[in-house]
Amino acid sequence: MQSDCRRLKTDIAQLTENAKKMYDKSESTRSVSFVTQGNALRRSAKERQKEVHKLLKYIDEQQLVINQL
């Protein structure tokens, strides 16, 4: 579970970085298609962030169960 969270966080950072590059490229080329690609990358990053929150919540719940035993 912890490794899944680390992997997802790395993916989020890479997606966000690539989105920024797309936005910069759109400014320099004045092309809307790069904005669209950047938006898609940001959307994917947000979805992965939701997955991280779900995993962390699950881990916390499991720790509570273990502590109650």
Which structural domain range is residue 35 located in? 2-68
Nearest Cα neighbor of 11 from 62, 49, 50 is 49
Q: Domain tally for the chain? A: 1
60 neighbors 2 (Cβ within 8 angstroms): no
In angstroms, rounded to a whole number, what is the distance separating the alpha carbons of residues 1 and 9? 12
Q: How confident is the model at residue 68 (pLDDT cuts 50, 70, 90)?
A: confident
pLDDT one-digit tens code per residue, 13-22: 999 999 999 9
In angstroms, rounded to a whole number, what is the distance separating the alpha carbons of residues 64 and 51? 20
Contacts of 26 (CB under 8 A, 6+ apart): 32, 33, 34, 35, 38
